[in-house]
Every structure is written in structure tokens, then in C-alpha cells.
Chains A and B, each alone.
Chain A
Amino acid sequence: MSDKRTCLYERHIKQGAKMVSFGGFEMPIQYTDITDEHVAVRTACGVFDVSHMGEVLVTGREAERFVQHIFTNDISGAPTGKIFYGMMLHPNGGTIDDLLVYKEANDRFFLVINAANIDKDFAWISEQVKQFDCTAENQSDYYGQLAVQGPKAEEVVEKVLGLPCQELTFYTFKKMDVGGEIIIISRTGYTGEDGFEIYASHELIQQMWDKLMESGEAKPCGLGCRDTLRFEVGLPLYGDELTDELSPLEAGLGMFVKMDKEEFVGKEALAQLKADGLKRKIVGIELEGRAIPRHGYEVVADDKVIGQVTTGYNSISTGKSVCMALLDIDYAKLDTPVEVRIHKKLQPGKVIKKRFYDKNYKK
């Protein structure tokens, strides 16, 4: 099957972006240089085409009860305009996807899911929703999406795009009328910086992209730096730190799993996992040298393989070679000495917190 293209594809090509296949889409990995784009987001403002992300609208009398059923976080009693991060789980506790839930009304929720999982997620949602008095609609082909990120994002969204967003607090959104079209804008992102995500029709997304490019106020950024940015602040990527075989507890995302909720798919399996004790966990590792640990590399201690690297880089912000890795629980404690096998050689390091750079959210 050939890759899909987003509504900004022609613009990426014209701007000379290097394109790669990601999640079933042909996406820009970089326009000029990953490091420059990364630094732009940390210090000023960058814009990402994230139109590949999937959107599902859940509406109906039992919409809230349904979302509670498939989602690990607790949305009960939340005000309209609030956003939650959490996961959808298999009954065995493995992760189907991580997602955002936007509460539009008591009977209306907007779910944002990963591009690579759209088909899998929507099949699961469609099956589960049958037991509830509500419906789920896959709107992924309708919406384009921009992520405007960085300490200057608020200024850029307000001045260049003319969208008032100052009053939005972290993880809230609003709907706005732009030339007769209702768009969604939220104070969210995947970079560890302040920023906004905007969901609108392809036509409006194209217009906004053009305005941002003409202004010169937002640097076009590819998925390359999106990954280095999210990695530095310890955010998971589905496929690396979360998989069908890995639970959010093992991924260290327990704060987004509300075990005191009455019910959700996967709760029993997680309760069992907790009772038995975790066998493995995602941790951070810092290496002494500059050799770069990458996805899939072996982690070794006591002459045996104790885990694998899930994501690793020479951190652009700190210059240190660091990674996230899924390790045997016996080696997951802070400061445990471990080695990563990089190009046949074992590189010494130690377990650290999986946050390599501090987030800079505006809350």
C-alpha cells in the first residue's frame, strides 16, 4: 500500500523537505537540519505538519461512559474544554494506543490518535462502541493539523494567525469560527515547550501554513526534531515506549492510569500486574561517552542482556548520549551501572530518570 499524503505535501516538496515514510504517511523528516529545527522550538517557534494524526468524534447519550470504558484516564465530571492524555488498552493490559481526549460537551468527545494506529484504533473503537448508546466517527481524512511550538508560539498564533489563544491554559482547548468554519485550537504539544495544536479543514490548514511561512516567525520543523524534542523531555512514542505488548505501568505512565476508576478495559490485567510486581520497566540511561544508543540496541549487565534501547540520541540540548530503555526490573533502579552494546562495543552508563531536559510548559 502506498503512503498517504497530507494536505501540505506539495508545500513540503517545494520547500525542499526530506520526506520519509511514517505511520502510513509520506512526511517531512527535516527541512534544513534537525539540530537547527530542534533549537528553533526550544528557543523561539517552530511549526509542524501533524495532519497525519487521526481524529475520532464520539457523540451520544453514553459518550462519556463509553470513553471511560476504553480510556485509562478519568474524565468524569470534567469541564467542557478540558483535555486528557491516556491510553486505550487491550484486555491483557497491552497498549493499543496513547491518545488525547477533548471534552466538547457531556455527550461529545474528540479523540486524537496516532497515525500508524488509525485503522487498528478505529476497528477497536467501532467494536466497543456497539455496547453503548453513542456513535464514533473517524474524521481523520477531514482534519489537517498544525502544531505551533516554542516559547514564542503564543505570540505567533495570536499575531500571525490572528487566533486569540492567550486565555487557554495547559491542556485546554476552544472552538473558534474562522470564516464560517469551526476549528479547534488547544494548548498542547509533543515537544516539552509551550505551544498549540490547531485542527481544521485542509484548506484552512494550508492557508495558515502559508501565513506562517510568509511571516518568517515560525520555522518549518520535521518529524526528526519532533522525535528529539519529545525524547528529551521523556515523552513516549507509540511503537518505541508503548506497544501492544507493553502496559502503561511498565512504560512509567501510571499517573495517566486511574486504577480507582470503576471500570476500563485492561484494568483487571493491570491490577494483576501490580499485585505480581512489574517484571520490566522503561528507564533512562546516560552513557559516559558520546557513542549513540539507538532503538533496539542491547542493554547488558552482569554479562547478560537485561533489556533493549527504545529511543536514544546524543541529546541536542545537553550534548550527552542518553536513551530510554526497557529493562529487567532488577536493573531499573536509579544509578544502577549498565552497558549498551553499540557497534559491537559495550559502552558504560547508568540508570537515570527518563527526563533528559526539563519541560517548559506554560500552565
Chain B
Amino acid sequence: MAKVIEGLYYAESHEYVRVEGEFGYIGITDYAQDQLGNVVYVDMPEVDDEITAGEEFGAVESVKAASDLFSPVSGTVVEVNEALEDEPELINKDAFANWIIKVELSDKSELDNLMDAKAYEAICK
């Protein structure tokens, strides 16, 4: 059973946002990493890139396939998780601890369009 954490915001495309003040940490859910299998590469944007809710900002890749990452929120990338460059498999070990990018949120009201843990859990069944 895939893990879902309370207090995060979830997108239908299986990304999560953990909000801390003006910032959001974006990653893929435990369910997503399980479906994908061993992650062998994470394509990440660069710091200062602008990202838009609903648009692609990178990809997580298994041996066989690349899965696009869609941003649940809009904002500016302030940090990328560099540990994933050498150890993309960290996402399989703990998808919620190993966020992919940290974003300065430009419109917090966008969070209202996302699901809470309970609603997300329901779509993973």
C-alpha cells in the first residue's frame, strides 16, 4: 500500500507540494514512484526558472520510460535537489523526503485546486 502523508497538497498527476511559508517543495508521491519502478534519472529545471501550474517542468525516468513532471503550482525555482543527480534512486527509497524542486510560490490560492491526503488516497485505489 502506497504511503500518503497528511498536510501535503496533491495533484492528480501524482506530484505533491509541501508548503513552508512562501515556499513549496515539489516531488512525486510514493504511489507514483511505485508505479514507475526504479528511478534512474531525474530531469530537473534550473534555479530561477519560472514554472506554471499544470505545465511540465522536468521528468522522472525509469529504465524503460520517461514520465513528465507537471507542476502543481506556479512560481520560481529557488533550489533543486542536487542529491538526485547522483542518486536518483533516493526517490524510490523515500519519495516524500526526497523532494525534487523548491519553489517560491507566486499564487498561494492555487493550492485550493489541489487535493488533500484523503482525496488523493481515494484516487490511488
Q: Is B66 an interface residue (CB 8 A)?
A: yes
Task: Pick the interface stretch among B5-13, B23-31, B55-63.
Answer: B55-63
A224-B64, A292-B61, A294-B66 are known contacts. Are A314 and B41 too (CB-CB below 8 A)?
Answer: yes
Distance A290 CA – B38 CA, assembled complex (angstroms): 15
Size of chain A's interface in residues, with CB distance under 8 A? 18
Cβ distance B45 to chain A, nearest Cβ, rounded Å: 10
Distance A228 CA – B37 CA, assembled complex (angstroms): 16
For B66, the chain A residues whose CB sits under 8 A away are: 292, 294, 343
For B38, the chain A residues whose CB sits under 8 A away are: 33-35
Are A228 and B63 neighbours in the complex by a CB distance under 8 Å?
Answer: yes
**Mask of B28-43 contacts with A, CB within 8 angstroms, 1/0:** 0000000001101101
A224-B63, A224-B64, A343-B43 are known contacts. Are A34 and B37 too (CB-CB below 8 A)?
Answer: yes
Size of chain B's interface in residues, with CB distance under 8 A? 14
Are A292 and B58 neighbours in the complex by a CB distance under 8 Å?
Answer: no
Distance A33 CA – B40 CA, assembled complex (angstroms): 13
Are B64 and A29 neighbours in the complex by a CB distance under 8 Å?
Answer: yes
Distance A291 CA – B37 CA, assembled complex (angstroms): 17
Q: Is B94 an interface residue (CB 8 A)?
A: no
B60-81 interface with A by 8 A CB criterion: 61-64, 66
A285-321 interface with B by 8 A CB criterion: 290-292, 294, 313-314, 316, 321
Distance A321 CA – B61 CA, assembled complex (angstroms): 12
Chain B residue nearest in CB terms to A345: B43
**Mask of B80-115 contacts with A, CB within 8 angstroms, 1/0:** 000001001000000000000000000000000000
A residues neighboring B (CB under 8 Å): 29-30, 33-35, 224, 228, 290-292, 294, 313-314, 316, 321, 342-343, 345
